[in-house]
Structure 1
Amino acid sequence: MLSSTLYNCILSLVVYIFLVSPSYAQDNGGLPVEDNEFTQQLWFDFNPSWTVGDGQKFTGNFGYRTIMPKSWHRIIFKAALEKDFEKLIFKRFNHSEKLLFGTGFFILTTKESDEYGSFEIRPFQGYELGINLSPRIVFKQLFRLEERFVFSDAPENEVFGLRFRYQAQVIFNLAGVLFGEGEGFYIPIAIEGFYNLVSASQFNDVIRVTPGLGYQFNPDFKIDGSAAYHYTQQGNDDGLVRTNDIVFRFRIIKTF
């Protein structure tokens, strides 16, 4: 039963990615396409959260991102309100559901004088469905809609963007194995697809594949790292640029 459920989840995600990816490849209006080599990026995040009662949690994100060789830096601030539900949409099986609403602020700076920085405001709304496949395996699906307001002096700047994101994640929880109760390693593996309803001029991701490894000191304090593959497309009046990015990400997660 477990293997069949997991197989169906993975199969659905693969079909989704194959449907989404061709739409990006064809949606360039006949513009020339430039393929860049693999880049390497570093992401650092601190994710605090506060439980505010009645199944609600206030979450934050303070992040820094850069690329190697260094040509840009990105500073990120996010805040969101999450609300847990036992049975919101689905009623007949054991699961968890969550609604989230928030806003992110993204500041991009560049080192080259002939390039442009930007400031982005990104409100978002999301729904998460979690299913316990076993006592140690959790499968989560996250659906998000994001409105992007990008401000810069670049000639090709597109002020407004709108995109849909779908993420499927499997978490293998090893807490209590070789360690004390509530302490130990966990393995998150995620695949995320993006679909631009309205394309902005910067960071139009298509696919992210993110395997990782984390350690839980207790249920309120975790650290994790991941090495992810990102495929990104950015377009303007001159053509389409496609990049393949290897992203090394490190996070500290703390609930107060």
Structure 2
Amino acid sequence: MLILILKKYNILNSVKSLINIFIFLVLFSYFNVSAQSENEEIDKVINQQIWLDFYSHYKINDKIEYYGDFGYRTIITKQSWNRIYIRPSIKYIISKSWELHTGIGLFYIFDKYDYNTLEISPWQGVQFNWPIGKRISFKHLAKIEERFNYVTDDWTYSLEFRFRYKLSTQIKLKGKLYIPAYLEYFLPMPLDKTKEIYQNKGRAGAGLGYSFLNDLKIAFLFNWQTSRSGANEDLNISDFAYQIKIIKVWNGKYLFNKEPENDTYY
């Protein structure tokens, strides 16, 4: 399906060129980190991951919009686990500055050395868009997650609550290029609960994106996070994640019947 979309817009060659640049950056960073690990004593474990994400948006009416993503993530340094997921969501637009969001995340983790897990995470949030400009804009998203983690061996489960705050921005460059960037903080509720198996503490990312048309974008991001990736690990693992992110607006003619002052899909 993705190949058909790229062929439709005659951008397959451009995508191939961007992917070649992305592969070069991944290999460069991989060997650079490997060299540091051999020559220096590093207290924290460093994992390198690949994230592949496809985002879609569909505006139902002037107030309600469906959006979501599905993707695949894996560790390339140890190949210890693979994760597939889908996150359908709905937002209600109160005004240009305020939005209400809700959704559910479905994650399945294939673990090579331990049991597989299924996570079901409904969530609710509010987003404040400010400041909003023609070249740069910011989003502030605060949400609460209810995380049901199931161990697939015996289908026992645990329930954890988590607060998340994400500050994201998009900086438009000349032409069709733009810079996406974000900072995100994770806070377990209550504060002393850290029983969940796959847990993040903080995350940040930045990269380079290209808008082929108003309704199709592709971006490459470098992400960093402090986390743990197993039941017996501490919250001191540094993850470097290389992400390919594709954004598609399926109802593009309705959404963009005129050029918007600020493109909010990032």
| Letter paired with 2:100 | L
Deviation at 1:216, TM superposition (A): 1.1
Note the aligned Cα RMSD (angstroms). 2.1
Match in the other structure for 2:120:
121
| Residue in structure 2 matching 1:196, options 188, 213, 219 | 188
Cα deviation code 1:176-214 (max 9, x no counterpart): x3x3xxxx0111111111100144422211110111211
Mapped contact 2:226–2:235 kept (Cα < 8 A) = no
For residue 218 of structure 1, report the CA deviation from its aligned partner: 2.1
User: TM-score when scaled to structure 2?
Assistant: 0.71
Offset of 1:170 from its aligned partner?
2.4
The amino acid that maps onto 1:48 is S
1:99 aligns with 2:107: no
Contact 1:162–1:199 (8 Å) recurs in 2: no
**TM-score with structure 1 length normalisation?**
0.73
CA deviation after TM superposition for structure 1 residue 159, in Å: 0.8
> How big is the shift at 1:64?
0.3
- Larger RCO (CA within 8 A; separation ≥ 6): 1
- Whichever structure has more helix as a proportion of its residues is 2
Q: Which runs of 5+ in 1 are unaligned?
A: 1-34, 87-94
| Residue among 75, 78, 81 paired with 1:72 | 81
Is the 8 Å Cα contact of residues 118 and 152 (structure 2) preserved in structure 1?
no
> Displacement of 1:111 after TM fit?
2.2
Give the aligned residue type for 1:52. I
Is contact 1:48-1:61 (8 Å) kept? yes
Q: Aligned partners of 2:197 and 2:233: how far apart in 1?
A: 13
- Give the Cα separation in 2 of the matches to 1:118 and 1:108: 5
Q: What whole-Å deviation, never above 9, does each CA across 1:67-102 have from its counterpart, x for those lacking one? A: 02211100001101111121xxxxxxxx52111110
Q: Which residue of 2 aligns with 1:16?
A: none
Task: Mark the runs of 5 or more structure 2 residues left unpaired by the alignment.
Answer: 1-42, 251-266
CA distance in 1, matches of 2:218, 2:54: 9
Change (3 A) 1:81 1:239: closer
* Structure-2 change in CA distance of 1:200 and 1:234 (3 Å): farther
Between the two proteins, what is the percent identity of the paired residues? 31
SS at structure 2 position matched to 1:248: strand
Q: What corresponds to 1:48 in structure 2? A: 56
Deviations 1:122-157 (A, max 9, x none): 0011111112353211021110111100000579x7
Query: In structure 1, which of residues 245, 253, 256 is the aligned counterpart of residue 247 of structure 2?
Result: 253
- CA displacement at 1:233 relative to structure 2: 4.0
Corresponding residue of 1:187? 179
Q: Which residue of 2 aligns with 1:83?
A: 92
Matches of 2:137 and 2:233 in 1, distance apart?
Answer: 42
Q: Which has the higher strand share?
A: 1
